[in-house]
Amino acid sequence: MKLVSFKPLFTVFAALALLSAVGGAAVYYMHYGVLKSLASPTPSLGAILDSVDRLEYEVRVGGDVYRVVVDNSPSSRSGVAELYKAGELQYKIRYEYGENALTSMARIDPASGLETPMDVLRWEEAFLTGLSFAQGSQGEIIGVEVFPGIAPLYLHYYLSGALGIDWGQFIAQGAVSAAVRVNVSFQKVETPEGAKRGLQVVLLPQAAGLSQNLWAQAPLSMELARIDGLIAASKIRYDLAIPGQEDEGIEITLTLLQTTG
């Protein structure tokens, strides 16, 4: 495993040269290609969802286990996201999307089937990240709600913007972010399709005290790989201590990704 953390470009290329010597051009592409994709313009929400038929992942929070199932229809640019807890359906979210954003959301009661419209501006972030946080008066996180969405497909892009990570600069000379320190290592990543060459990204808070940024209050790690053309996080871990939870941290694990390709 080759560590790439705040290194000059020649160090990154030296690691890649070694990988290429061992495994050839395919190894080079699978490792560096994932990192380079992060430095490319973020694909639109429409482009990502247009490539997906079905997504499933598991979320562990405070000892509870949730399952999210998303059935997406690229032809109608709409879908349904379901949230399960301990195997029991909690509720569904019906959504529609355009090229760059969700255009409508509604919560469906599993018992009655009644739909309640939702404010897209308020809930789109939760759909993209899979989580909704509650904050205290000092900005600290005092609660978290699992929200059915597309976290394994979008959280890495969302965090790049939210935390000000310039991946192009990282490749050139080391990333600079006021919120977090960025470490990247090349490694094999376990995915629903088996082990793939990819990256582990670790984000460490820069400030010693409490950060006002919701995503920079504790170490966060992601294992990224290319799956059927999409850069996806097979595992996400946010080591966040939340009051009242016996088990610390939030863990998201991708269990199924069916694409249109």
Per-domain boundaries in the chain: 38-256
Residues 46-50: what's their mean pLDDT? 98
For the entire predicted model, the pTM comes to: 0.86
At residue 15, the 3 state secondary structure works out as helix
Residues 42-49: what's their mean pLDDT? 97
DSSP-derived secondary structure for 121-170: HHHHHHHHHSEEEEE-TTS-EEEEEE--S-HHHHHHHHHHHHTT--HHHH
d(CA 224, CA 237): 12
Confidence of residue 18 (pLDDT cuts 50, 70, 90): very low
Instruction: Tell me how far apart the terminal alpha carbons of the chain are, to the nearest angstrom.
Output: 31
Confidence of residue 26 (pLDDT cuts 50, 70, 90): low
Q: What is the pLDDT of residue 247?
A: 64
Say yes or no to pLDDT of 16 above 70. no
Classify domain 38-256 at the CATH topology level: outer membrane lipoprotein receptor (LolB), chain A (2.50.20)
